[in-house]
């Protein structure tokens, strides 16, 4: 199982970018997308993808709700796990060498998105003496 990172290439940039030192790619948090099976007031339907979405543009924290039609052809991992989206200057450079699960495409005017799957890292448990 992995974590889905949804890279966005859009026409706005901020000064508080975080740099991915491994590839010198600047990442800026955009939103987290959370699958749901419940209709949400204000959701927008993306006909080509058979998905409803809403929220990230109105949420202070960038939370997007995603509801998928039963015959949606997107990968199962996208329909069942949350994704984290980052803005990048060059989407093709950002996904180079990554496990791409949705190729770059444009779900709305002015936006190019691609989904990659990142591996989950196993962390060793750590117990501080301070918190016995």
pLDDT in 10s for each residue of the chain, 132 residues: 444 556 544 333 333 444 444 457 788 888 899 999 999 999 999 999 999 999 877 888 899 999 999 999 999 999 999 998 888 888 898 889 988 999 998 887 888 889 988 865 444 444 444 444
Q: Can you give the pLDDT at residue 68?
A: 97
pTM above 0.85, yes or no: no
List, in order of start, the domains of the chain with CATH numbers.
2-122 (3.10.180)
The pLDDT of residue 6 is: 61
Tokens of 38: 């419940």
Beta strand 44-46 with 51-54 is antiparallel
Tokens at 79, concatenated: 């329909």
Q: Which long-range contacts (CB under 8 A, 24 or more apart) does 119-128 make?
A: 119/2, 119/3, 120/1, 120/2, 120/3
What are φ and ψ of residue 48, in 5° steps? -65, -25
Output the pLDDT for position 130. Answer: 46
Cα separation, 109 vs 106, whole angstroms:
7
């Amino acid at each position: 199982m992995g974590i889905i990172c949804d890279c966005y290439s859009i026409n706005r940039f901020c000064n508080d970018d975080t740099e991915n030192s491994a590839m010198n790619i600047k990442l800026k948090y955009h939103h987290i997308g959370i699958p749901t099976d419940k209709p949400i007031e204000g959701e927008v339907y993306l006909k080509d993808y058979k998905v409803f979405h809403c929220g990230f543009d109105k949420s202070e924290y960038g939370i997007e709700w995603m509801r998928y039609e039963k015959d949606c052809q997107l990968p199962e991992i996208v329909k069942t796990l949350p994704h984290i989206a980052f803005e990048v200057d060059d989407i093709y450079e950002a996904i180079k060498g990554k496990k791409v699960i949705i190729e770059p495409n444009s779900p709305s005017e002015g936006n190019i998105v691609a989904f990659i799957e990142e591996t989950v890292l196993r962390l060793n448990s750590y117990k501080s003496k301070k918190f016995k």
